[in-house]
Amino acid sequence: MAYHFFTDNEFAGPGPTHLVTFWDRAPRQLRPKPRQNVPPLDTTQFTNLMPITTAKHEDAAKIATFWNNYYTGKDWKFHSNMGIVTRAIKNGVLLIIWNVKREPIATFVCRYLPRGIKCGVFKPQVGLLEGLVIHPGYRGRGLASYMLVAMDNYIYNLPEMSQSILMWFREHDTSISAMSQVPCAVLTYYYAYIGQIQKSKAPAQKAAPEIVESVLKTIYDTENFTLMSGDPNDPDVYWYLAENSLIGIADTHRIGSDGSVLWEVVFASNLSPPFFTNHAQAIEQAALQLPSGKGVIFASNGKTRGNFSSVGKPWLSGRAGHLSMHVYNWMPPALLSGDILFPHGCI
């Protein structure tokens, strides 16, 4: 492999070639200086649009409706409300483009995680990128890329975020489509229908905050992952004690095509070593305590997210696609084969 040694003034973009050429270097921010400006939208491509701006609390109702209408996947749709939007505005920044009728056309969210994240020997601040939604009438013309440039400019010009990592997650049908985008980690999903889970004689109990904090700190201090967050305070995550395990399950705010509520395991660990073994029954019992009797719960082969294996019989209902995790303007400690400690849900 031929290496290219970039100077601190050079920028490596998010494409596969750029990331591979950096693989000779320790984890570090790739471009230390912020963007100076954002080019204006091409008025020949985009007519009747207002300049990009930050959303205000009074915009929450319109944005929630916009997400409910247009934030969808192949077999799910997002279930938003004013509270979710208001929280996104309060805990970070929500960039938005309106048309001249003041209708939302594009949104992009960056959520600040106040405890930062551990990346190798670094512990920078982190922004979780989510909520990128483009009106169907404006897709396929580069508006998503424009939103990323605008977010880059906004975040890295904030003094408190100038050395931050921006990260995001994507879902994929195949591992090939996940790897083609050069993620730090690619995880395989497994799933179970909550209605088919058998109750145990020892049901799960809600975990006290101090127990969650203690277990997360133990894992954070003793284990090594590509990216690590020890923050237990995501309001979308439900914490349970089941068997000898601590389980964190996130409300994805997604509804399946059959009306099922979709949940995701974002943390699973035993209370003492070995931490990442035999979580299936604990996850199942925790799922039975969720505030929805009809739903689907997803876990993965990530060590702290279920640690399931494709060897032998898949967990209950089977495998269900892949999850990839990406970083922007940082070179992570691992590429493609990394793993994460990240007990948070995503919009």
What single string gives the DSSP state of each residue in 2-42? Answer: ------TT----SSHHHHHHTTTS-SEES--S--S--PPP-
Secondary structure class of 52 (helix, strand, coil): coil
- Average of per-residue pLDDT across 18-27: 56
Which of 58-62, 291-295, 297-301 is predicted with the least confidence, judged by mean pLDDT? 291-295
Query: Is residue 2 domain-resident?
Result: no
C-alpha–C-alpha distance, residues 319 and 35, integer Å: 41
Please give the backbone phi and psi of residue 194, each rounded to the nearest 5 degrees, phi first. Answer: -60, -35
Query: Is residue 145 domain-resident?
Result: yes
What total of structural domains would you count in the chain?
Answer: 2
Length of the chain (residues): 347
Which of 34-48, 200-214, 278-292, 296-310 is predicted with the least confidence, judged by mean pLDDT? 34-48
Query: For all residues of the chain together, what is the average pLDDT?
Result: 90
Query: If we measure between CA atoms, which residue out of 223, 196, 217 comes closest to residue 296?
Result: 196
Q: Judge contact between 167 and 225, C-beta under 8 A.
A: no
Helices (H) and strands (E) in the chain, counts: 7, 17
Q: If phi over 0 gives left and psi between -120 and 50 gives alpha, with beta otherwise, what is residue 259?
A: left
Query: Is residue 122 domain-resident?
Result: yes
Please report the pLDDT score of residue 285 as a whole number.
96
pLDDT tens, 98-139?
Answer: 999 999 999 999 999 999 999 988 999 999 999 999 999 999
Are 155 and 175 part of one and the same domain? no
Please report the pLDDT score of residue 93 as a whole number.
98
Range of the domain at 270: 171-341
Secondary structure class of 111 (helix, strand, coil): strand
Query: Is residue 16 domain-resident?
Result: no
Are 148 and 230 part of one and the same domain? no
Are 333 and 188 part of one and the same domain? yes
pLDDT tens, 3-17?
Answer: 232 333 333 344 444
In the numeric block, the tokens 């690590």 are attached to 228
Query: What CATH number is attached to the domain comprising 72?
Result: 3.40.630.30
Are 298 and 177 part of one and the same domain? yes
- Average of per-residue pLDDT across 210-220: 97
Please report the pLDDT score of residue 6 as a whole number.
31
- Average of per-residue pLDDT across 72-84: 95
Bigger pLDDT: 18 or 121?
A: 121
| pLDDT at residue 58 greater than cutoff 50 | yes
Query: If we measure between CA atoms, which residue out of 346, 341, 101 comes closest to residue 227?
Result: 341
Are 277 and 234 part of one and the same domain? yes
Please report the pLDDT score of residue 25 as a whole number.
62
Please report the pLDDT score of residue 24 as a whole number.
52
Query: What CATH number is attached to the domain comprising 204?
Result: 3.40.630
pLDDT tens, 223-257?
Answer: 999 999 999 999 999 999 999 999 999 999 999 99
Query: Is residue 217 domain-resident?
Result: yes
C-alpha–C-alpha distance, residues 142 and 21, integer Å: 26
pLDDT tens, 145-159?
Answer: 999 999 999 999 999
Exposed, middle or buried, 251 (CB in 10 Å: 0-12/13-18/19+)?
Answer: buried
pLDDT tens, 156-211?
Answer: 999 999 999 999 999 999 888 887 778 999 999 999 999 999 998 889 999 999 99
C-alpha–C-alpha distance, residues 189 and 282, integer Å: 17
DSSP state of 203: -
44: confidence class by pLDDT, cuts 50, 70, 90: confident
Strands 76-78 and 28-29 come out as unpaired
Task: Give the other-Cβ count within 10 Å of 269's Cβ.
Answer: 27
Query: Is residue 202 domain-resident?
Result: yes
Are 144 and 177 part of one and the same domain? no
